[in-house]
Structure 1
Amino acid sequence: MKLRTSAGAVALTLAATLTLTACSDGGSGSEESASPSASSSSSAADEMPQPTKEDVAALEAVKVEGKAGKEPKLSYDKPFEVSAPTSRVVDEGDGAELTEGVQVTMQHVAYDGGAKKVASTWDQGAPTSFMLGDAQFGILTEPLVGQKVGARVLVANPVQAQDGSTQTSVNLVEITDVKKIPTRAEGEAVEPAKGLPTVTLDDSGKPSVEIPKDYKAPKKLTAQTLIKGDGPKVKENQTVTAHYSGWTLDGKQFDSSWDRGTPSSFSLQQVIPGWTQGLAGQTVGSQVLLVIPADQAYGAEKSEQNPLGGETLVFVVDVLDAK
């Protein structure tokens, strides 16, 4: 699932500065990808390069000005560089403990190697949420697991720029909330319309799909509720936490949060139009079958950079939370 690059610039920048694969060996990914095809966070973390003594010393020298609850100012000698992801706890929290698999809400400010602020959730006007263990925010998994709500943590990360050069991002993360959410859709089963792809769930709730041989790609978006949750209705401007899998019409799976082992969070203002239109109005706890024509997915043109262009896509989405 790729994000729209024309919206949500702050969220994209924040994700890019904290992306696990930004500069790790053999990694792939960019700020456009909300759910990169990556291994689980634990194995990816094992492959992550470790900071040197010089990296640790450099981060120790970063000065954090300002009290918790407000955007801090970071200052340091420039150019600032580290060779590997490096973290430092600035303040211990005293709230609920963070464990892998919980939903974490955080405020976050990012600076570049030249000590210039590049993005801030305080400027955006609202914190951001993610699943601890989600590969998109994989850099945060190790430093945050075991911390408590209220903690402030510095994270420095070498990030590969568009021109191929490496720049270091310096981030201050403040944890404001933590929440356990369901691992699968829960609610009342809904009988789907005839002729649609058939969805089967395994014992964990992971879906598989069978597409009828005579199935014709629809010209308009199909959004079929399979399980009706009893939570609040999802709005177009919210961030949704979801488990999902996606297939092309030939039945080939191209993405799955189930395979990565952790649900993903998406702003509905940053995903493909079929997701925005298909999930808005659904209720939290629901499972939804989406059949999305190319013009509401990745467009008509297929290319090396856009391999899903021209494809009608099938998704099964478990809506676990919305903020």
Structure 2
Amino acid sequence: MRLLWLGVLVLALLAACGPIGQGPLPVVTGAFGVRPVITIPDGVPDPRPRVTVLSAGSGRPTMPGDVVLADVEVRRWSGNLPYANTYDDHQPARVVFDGRHVPDSWREALIGRPAGSRVMLVGPAALSYGPGPPLGGTRPAETLVLVFDILGGYPPDARLVGRALPDVPNDRAPRVLIGGSGPPVRAGAKVVVQYVAVEWPGRRVVDSSYLRGGPSAFTLGPGAAPPGWVAGLAGQRVGARVAFPTEEAGRPLLYVVDILDVLDTK
């Protein structure tokens, strides 16, 4: 009787995580960190979400409550049509696992995975589309294919070790507030940051990663990072806190940025 009970329990757990090998799965090629090539097979996809680890990374596993940063490619099963991706705009998705607005399929795909992992999620749009409103042109039952390159998970309040939240300087002079000792940041790299932006001269906070839920990742390049970030962060090191002025839409701003990590996805 005990063995029968254990068997029923195992089957129930497996069913909760998705079907066991039912329906064809896409083939994904390409290296981690590079936009994947997805080949959709013939046949009818399974109607329930399925998560497949395509390659396992060696970094810190993501944890419940983390902010997970990942590049993602989303395609429609029908016709293998592109739907959305973060590779082209060089700004990874930020998924805030705060108990709200994140489907269970994304939780299964992204939580407990080591940084550097590539994971595929296949399922109906109603159960597989992530946080935020879905883009137009899809039906709830339409199958989507999502391939995640998991860059890392970070606590929502991540900041420089042993340091308080940043104070805003009294002027807009660029400066290093805290020197870093980690890897250097170069133009074109992906950096993980916490930041505060204030308007000048009023010093009113107009943007903050803390208010948005946690760390963000940007590629330091034109059109990917906010204006002034390449000049403000390139040449600094992980662990630094820097302040630098920018101007956005004709409005003078001052950023205070903590450099938490630099990601090498090549």
> 1:211-260: CA deviations, max 9, x gaps?
4xxx6xx7xxx421100001232111111100111111212111111234
Q: Distance in 1 between matches of 2:145 and 2:158?
A: 29
Aligned to 2:8: none
String of CA shifts for 1:261-313, please: whole Å, max 9, x gaps.
42110111112231121111111110001222x2xx3x33xxxxxxxxxx111
What SS does structure 2 have at the residue aligned with 1:209? coil
Aligned to 1:205: 164
CA 1:76–1:205: 2 relative to 1, 3 Å: farther
Aligned residue for 1:133?
Answer: 96
Measure the CA separation in 2 of the matches of 1:262 and 1:247.
17
Is 1:64 aligned to 2:26, yes or no? yes
Q: RMSD in angstroms over aligned alpha carbons?
A: 4.4
- In the alignment, does 2:62 pair up with 1:111? no
State the distance in 2 between where 1:167 and 1:151 align: 22
Amino acid across the alignment from 1:291 = P
Which residue does 1:99 correspond to in 2?
A: 63
Match of 1:252 among 195, 201, 204: 204
- Unpaired runs of 5+ in structure 1? 1-55, 187-202, 301-310
Matched length: 215
Alpha-carbon distance in structure 1 between the residues aligned to 2:30 and 2:49: 18
Match of 1:183 among 120, 139, 158: 158
Residue type matched to 1:312 in 2? Answer: P
Alignment partners' CA distance in 2, 1:248 and 1:62: 53
SS at the partner of 2:122? strand
Task: Compute the TM-score of the two structures, normalised by the length of structure 2.
Answer: 0.60
Distance 1:288 1:171, change over 3 A: farther
SS at match of 1:316: strand
* Percent sequence identity over aligned pairs: 22
State the secondary structure of the residue aligned to 2:203: coil
In structure 2, the CA distance between the partners of 1:62 and 1:268, relative to structure 1 (3 Å rule), is: farther
Offset at residue 87 of structure 1 (A): 4.4
Cα 1:275/1:179, change in 2 over 3 Å: same
Cα 1:128–1:71 change in 2 (3 A) is farther
2:10 maps to none
Distance 1:290 1:87, change over 3 A: farther
Q: CA offset at residue 205 of structure 1?
A: 2.5
Aligned partner of 1:279 in structure 2 is 233
Segments of 5+ residues of structure 2 without an aligned counterpart are 1-17
Matched, 1:288 2:242: yes
Once the two structures are TM-superposed, the CA of residue 119 in structure 1 deviates from its matched residue by: 6.4
Deviations 1:165-214 (A, max 9, x none): 4436834325566577993235xxxxxxxxxxxxxxxx862224264xxx
Rounded to whole Å, the distance in 1 between the matches of 2:199 and 2:187 is 25
| Distance change >3 Å, CA 138–CA 276, structure 1 → 2 | farther
Q: Deviations over 1:115-172 (max 9, x none)?
A: 3135678x97xx986665379x9668523113454543336428555xxx44368343
Output aligned runs, 1:154-165, within 5 Å.
154=122, 156-157=128-129, 160-161=134-135, 165=136
Cα distance in 1 for partners of 2:28, 2:106 equals: 25
Residue 40 of structure 2: aligned partner: 74
- Identify if the C-alpha distance between structure 1 residues 92 and 110 changes in structure 2 by more than 3 Å, giving closer, same or farther: closer
Corresponding residue for 1:308?
none
Hey, what's the Cα distance between the residues in 2 that align with 1:279 and 1:246? 15
Match of 2:146 among 162, 172, 175: 172
Query: Which secondary structure does the structure 2 equivalent of 1:170 belong to?
Result: strand
Output the CA distance in 2 between the equivalents of 1:291 and 1:87: 46
